[in-house]
Chains A and B, each alone.
Chain A
């Protein structure tokens, strides 16, 4: 138990430091890489909680696929550096402090009124909780309909992306390009 606690504290420090590093670094690439560190640490939290499947999803989807997209877009746009980090957001900073205080106050009030409810499942005593088999069972039995509806949703989103970006065959040019020429 104590060993686990020590590991948790160490990882928590790394996670918070990485999150701060992401927010405070002025280079977008560094921010993205800090975020990767943060995602990796969160994945190990899931492992500590006995949820290997979610940990793997965290690594492959967030730390893997989404971060590659992030880095790709940042490099594509050449937007590594913030140009005027202070001028752009100067008047918003005090406002942000006030809003964060309000959020923390409200969250604290809700938690103190509600109390920290016990988790719905006793994690420690359920060996299969969060295992790939248990999640597959849930997805294809209890949550079969949401699962199938999601696939339909993704299909329609994909069609939408094609519609909005596809080259118009009749005109032979992308419609975006043809508009640029006209203007």
Chain B
């Protein structure tokens, strides 16, 4: 390998953020304990610089480190999703950590490390890198979930997430080993070549299945979703908002890249499994969400259901000409889900803080009278999560279902639409409780939280009304990649 195909220049945003995280660990030592929010602002500026750096150069088509990493429109757009969720979650954390008396400087570097792992995950073109990236995004998350350590539910959810996560990682490593045994390669391109010649062997299929277990765990797809409600409920809400977007998007990034490039010729073998994930996740996620009384658990089951919709978009990826279409639907859906979900979690944080309030859906009674702005934003988020116009969630679901229709999966789209109708019940119930019922208790929101809610609500609405420009960018960035 020569220096030229290292391509350090192309990976500079990634290297910059990694260096920023390491530097922040050192700088944090000199920041006094009662001013740890300064560390937060520095992490925020690191995220912001990288965000604008990446967005200034979306259309690259490069490789780095001898073909181990891809720098292309797909990875760059997902980087914006990861960095955006990092920015919003850091903003929320500035006040959240202080109010809950768990403010420690290490929170922010850990978040940076996790985002670095997510970024690597979306660039990975080698199974070894996929595994390392998965660990790099997960290990800081395990710690962040347990960050409110004196609270028993935070500790419980951290332990659950860690044990099950380690278990699923073991599945993934075993799968990678079997794939290596069958193809004698770990790079996606080399695996693709080997698979195209030899076809599917039982060893290879067993490897793919085991690897998919590890990834499906990360995106919390049924039947690997059991951890999700407990972890989302017990973790600090800031972390939940962050991980429900970032970890899910990173998992799907790896799934798309692996299955669209390395195992493209095996679509007939893996498509039924993906369809199964899609059907189980949308049906079970939405049905289980109906009976939840805690809004955190409801959002957890909703996140399981949304993983199912992304799987619906992945299914057409096996049909050569449609894989670009599928990949852009996945990106758009993840962006829409990310914006909406972080917005919803910010409202949950705001209501959670207020006097005499909690995370029960009944606590939202009369929110419209007490805090009309917050209630209006929450209404928008719930509409978007359901997938109703004029929100981004509607457009995202439209693209997903259009991709599945183009591949001829009409019955899958029917299942999708029926589950959307089921989901309307529990999303709209929150709206009804907010606007129709009466309740009391004042909600005081810090400025950073207002900003987060405002930005996500505005983006959800504007991109719902005018999705064209964004979709054009997404489509042109991924064209011809897969």
**Which residue numbers of A lie inside 8 Å of B, CB to CB?**
109-110, 113-114, 117, 120, 141-146, 149-150, 152-153, 155-157, 159-160, 162-164, 169-170, 175-176, 178-179
Contact yes or no, B129 A149, CB < 8 A: yes
Contact yes or no, B133 A109, CB < 8 A: no
Which residues on B sit within 8 Å (CB–CB) of A145?
A: 64-66, 68-69, 129
Contact yes or no, B128 A143, CB < 8 A: yes
Which of B65, B142, B150, B203 is close to A160, meaning CB atoms less than 8 Å apart? B142
For A169, the closest partner residue in chain B by CB is B33
Bound CA–CA A145/B63 (angstroms): 12
Contact yes or no, B106 A159, CB < 8 A: yes
16 A-B pairs whose Cβ atoms sit less than 8 Å apart in the complex = A114-B182, A117-B182, A142-B1, A146-B128, A152-B116, A153-B135, A153-B136, A153-B139, A155-B113, A156-B21, A159-B106, A159-B140, A160-B140, A160-B142, A163-B104, A164-B143
B402 within 8 A of A: no
On chain B, the number of residues with a Cβ less than 8 Å from chain A's Cβ atoms is 43
Bound CA–CA A117/B194 (angstroms): 14
- B353-397 vs A: 1/0 string, CB under 8 Å? 000000000000000000000000000000000000000000000
Which residues on A sit within 8 Å (CB–CB) of B149?
A: 164, 175-176
B338 within 8 A of A: no
Query: Chain B nearest CB: distance from A163 CB in Å?
Result: 5
Contact yes or no, A109 B202, CB < 8 A: yes
B22 within 8 A of A: yes
Bound CA–CA A152/B22 (angstroms): 9
Contact yes or no, A149 B66, CB < 8 A: no
Which residues on A sit within 8 Å (CB–CB) of B6?
A: 144
- B26-37 vs A: 1/0 string, CB under 8 Å? 000000010000
If the complex has contacts A141-B1, A146-B128, A160-B110, are A113 and B136 also in contact, measured as CB distance less than 8 A?
no
Contact yes or no, B128 A163, CB < 8 A: no
If the complex has contacts A142-B1, A152-B18, are A164 and B146 also in contact, measured as CB distance less than 8 A?
yes
Contact yes or no, B25 A159, CB < 8 A: yes
Contact yes or no, A156 B206, CB < 8 A: no
Which residues on A sit within 8 Å (CB–CB) of B133?
A: 149
Among A145, A164, A178, residue most surrounded by chain B Cβ atoms (within 10 Å): A145
Bound CA–CA A162/B146 (angstroms): 13
Bound CA–CA A145/B15 (angstroms): 11
Contact yes or no, B150 A179, CB < 8 A: yes
Extra pairs beyond A144-B66, A145-B66 (8, CB < 8 Å): A113-B202, A145-B65, A145-B69, A152-B113, A155-B25, A156-B113, A164-B143, A164-B146
